[in-house]
Amino acid sequence: MRYGWGYGGQMVYVLPGLDMTVVMTSDPQQPSGGVSGHRDALHRLLGDIITAVRADRSAKLDPAES
């Protein structure tokens, strides 16, 4: 995974293994890291997205689910 972090918590994540790119916008008036933990919260959100995508793809590949 590669990611870019911009002003106010603007994020772009590139996940070649999942053939996926995720872009997140945030409030430019709020701090995006440090004490607030905003950047870490965005990383956790991405983890939730990855988990959901993997589960969805696994369900589609499992013939027993059909």
Instruction: Give φ, ψ of 7 to 5 degrees.
Output: -55, 135
User: How many of the other CB atoms lie within 10 Å of CB of 39?
Assistant: 17
Tens-place pLDDT, residues 35-66: 677 788 889 999 999 999 999 999 888 767 55
- The pair of structure tokens assigned to 55 is 């589960």
Q: Which of the four pLDDT bands, split at 50, 70 and 90, describes residue 5?
A: confident
CB 2 within 8 A of CB 17: no
DSSP at 19: T
State the sign of the Cα–Cα–Cα–Cα dihedral 22, 3, 52, 60. positive
Higher pLDDT: 38 or 16? It is 16
- Rounded average pLDDT over 12-38: 82
Q: What integer pLDDT is reported at residue 30 of this predicted model?
A: 67
Pairing of strands 2-5, 11-15: antiparallel
What is the average pLDDT value for the chain, to the nearest integer? 84
